[in-house]
Each structure stands twice: as structure tokens, then as C-alpha cells.
């Protein structure tokens, strides 16, 4: 079940002028394994002056015979100003007692962050590995918000595909995403399949658990409401 933490890379980054924000300023997702909902993601959006503030909570609980077999929790905040990612603050609690407190901020024309490997200093134009922001599809390096490290990524476009979400059929753009592995990762970084609505909103993504080969799906629970 440890691979489930990788779902955390996906969520939400927006340019206040360019990226779609849900009409009620909230997006919710179900996390599904073996046709059962094992967790949820809730993201709320607020604006303050020229800043877009994005607060996300991810909560996973898996029970086997009514006994807790897996738990995961993450809560984080992104701040975007005038279309630029400028600040990040997050906390992640893994099932194996690992905890990460991640902070990052634009300082003196650089993005300076602390995380799993200590302090990193990178180009201020780095953006977080949050799948909602389709801008990740044209990046080669990305800020991993779970561990506070930089990963190389590779994207392949698969074309259009019609999928069904909440009894609604919609045409989507489909992609594959792969990212580099860090020596401290538990297991390989999986290949993700990602679907976006034509308006740019993230609809669904999935990957295969490297340990039990089960597919983990994360999809919009509020789409069409």
C-alpha cells in the first residue's frame, strides 16, 4: 500500500489569469482501489489582492476486516501571484511514520525550498508537480511538493478520448507522465495516465501499484454538479 502516497503529486496549481478555477471555487476527487473509495482530495481556492491561494487536503484510510491497514494524510497551501508560483507550505504524514514539512518561497530571483534533502535553490520559474496545472506538460523539471525535491519529467500526448464521469460522457485530452526516481523513494516512480477536460480542468488520473499491480484511480467526484 505504500505506493499510494504517490497520488499526492497531482493536485492543484492555477495561474489566476490562465487556469480554470471551478465555478464554486472547490474541486473534490475520489481515490479508488479495487472499485472501492479509499480516500478523497478536497481543494479550495481563494483570492487575496493579486494572489490565488490554493488549500488542499488529502486523506486516505484503508481497512481490512475493519482493521486499519493504511493511512495517509497531506495538507498543503500554494500561493500564485500574477501568474507565478511564489510560495508553498505543506505537511505530509506517511503510513510508515515518515513526516515531511515542506516550505518554499521566491527569494532574490530564486525559488528556495526545504524538504527531504535539506535546502534546494532552483530557478524561480519552477512550478509544482500538481496535475491540474496543464503547464506541467511543457516542463522538463518540476518541484515535488510531497518531498521538496526536483524531479525530471517526460510527457507523451496520447490524443483524444471519450470517458464517462458521474454518468456524463465527455471528450478529454489524454497524456502519459513519467518522472525521475530519487534514491530515497520507496519503489519505482509509476507511470501516470492523465485526462483533462477540453476546458483544461483535471478530470482523472491513474497509475499501477508496483507491489500488487492494482490500479489506483483518482477522479472528479463533483463533476457535473
Q: What is the pLDDT of residues 71-105, one digit of tens each?
A: 888 899 999 998 899 999 999 887 666 788 999 99
Q: Does position 4 have pLDDT exceeding 60, yes or no?
A: no
Grid coordinates given for 79: 500561493
**Ramachandran region, residue 125 (left: φ > 0; alpha: ψ -120 to 50; beta: rest):** alpha
Decide which of 57 and 7 is more confident: 57
**In this predicted structure, which of 3-7, 78-82, 218-222 has the lowest mean pLDDT?**
3-7
Query: What confidence tens digit (pLDDT) does each residue in 26-35 have?
Result: 999 999 999 9
Which are the contacts of 137, defined by CB distance < 8 A and separation ≥ 6?
Answer: 155, 157, 175
* Residue range 109-132: mean pLDDT, rounded: 92
Q: Does position 13 have pLDDT exceeding 50, yes or no?
A: no
Distance CA 138, CA 68 (A): 40
Decide which of 25 and 160 is more confident: 160
Instruction: Determine the CATH number of domain 2-220.
Output: 2.40.360
pLDDT-above-90 percentage for the chain: 51
Distance CA 172, CA 194 (A): 9
Distance CA 133, CA 177 (A): 13
Q: What is the DSSP letter of 144?
A: E
Q: pTM score, two decimals?
A: 0.85
Query: What confidence tens digit (pLDDT) does each residue in 176-189 have?
Result: 999 999 988 888 88
Which are the contacts of 72, defined by CB distance < 8 A and separation ≥ 6?
Answer: 4, 5, 8, 39, 58, 59, 60, 93, 94, 95
Is residue 23 very low, low, confident or very high in pLDDT (cuts 50, 70, 90)?
confident
Q: Does position 174 have pLDDT exceeding 60, yes or no?
A: yes
Cβ-count burial of 56 within 10 angstroms (0-12 exposed, 13-18 middle, 19+ buried)? buried
* Residue range 185-213: mean pLDDT, rounded: 89
* Residue range 115-140: mean pLDDT, rounded: 91
* Residue range 56-69: mean pLDDT, rounded: 79
Distance CA 120, CA 88 (A): 13
Q: Does position 3 have pLDDT exceeding 70, yes or no?
A: no
Is residue 161 very low, low, confident or very high in pLDDT (cuts 50, 70, 90)?
very high
Amino acid at each position: 500500500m505504500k505506493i499510494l502516497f504517490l497520488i499526492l503529486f497531482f493536485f492543484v496549481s492555477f495561474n489566476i489569469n490562465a487556469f480554470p478555477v471551478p465555478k464554486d471555487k472547490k474541486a473534490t476527487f475520489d481515490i479508488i482501489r479495487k472499485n472501492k473509495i479509499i480516500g478523497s482530495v478536497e481543494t479550495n481556492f481563494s483570492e487575496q489582492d493579486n494572489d490565488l491561494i490554493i488549500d488542499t487536503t488529502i486523506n486516505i484510510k484503508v481497512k481490512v476486516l475493519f482493521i486499519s491497514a493504511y493511512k495517509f494524510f497531506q495538507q498543503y497551501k500554494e500561493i500564485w501571484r500574477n501568474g507565478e508560483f511564489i510560495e508553498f507550505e505543506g505537511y505530509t504524514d506517511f503510513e510508515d511514520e515518515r513526516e515531511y514539512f515542506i516550505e518554499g518561497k521566491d527569494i532574490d530571483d530564486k525559488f528556495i525550498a526545504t524538504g527531504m534533502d535539506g535546502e534546494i535553490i532552483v530557478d524561480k520559474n519552477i512550478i509544482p508537480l500538481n496535475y491540474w496545472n496543464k503547464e506541467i506538460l511543457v516542463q522538463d523539471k518540476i518541484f515535488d511538493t510531497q518531498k521538496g525535491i526536483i524531479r525530471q519529467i517526460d510527457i507523451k500526448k496520447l490524443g483524444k478520448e471519450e470517458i464517462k464521469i458521474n454518468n456524463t460522457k465527455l471528450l478529454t485530452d489524454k497524456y502519459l507522465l513519467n518522472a525521475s526516481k530519487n534514491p530515497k523513494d520507496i519503489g519505482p516512480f509509476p507511470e501516470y495516465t492523465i485526462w483533462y477536460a477540453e476546458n483544461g480542468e483535471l478530470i482523472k488520473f491513474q497509475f499501477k501499484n508496483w507491489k500488487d499491480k492494482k490500479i489506483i484511480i483518482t477522479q472528479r467526484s463533483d463533476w457535473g454538479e
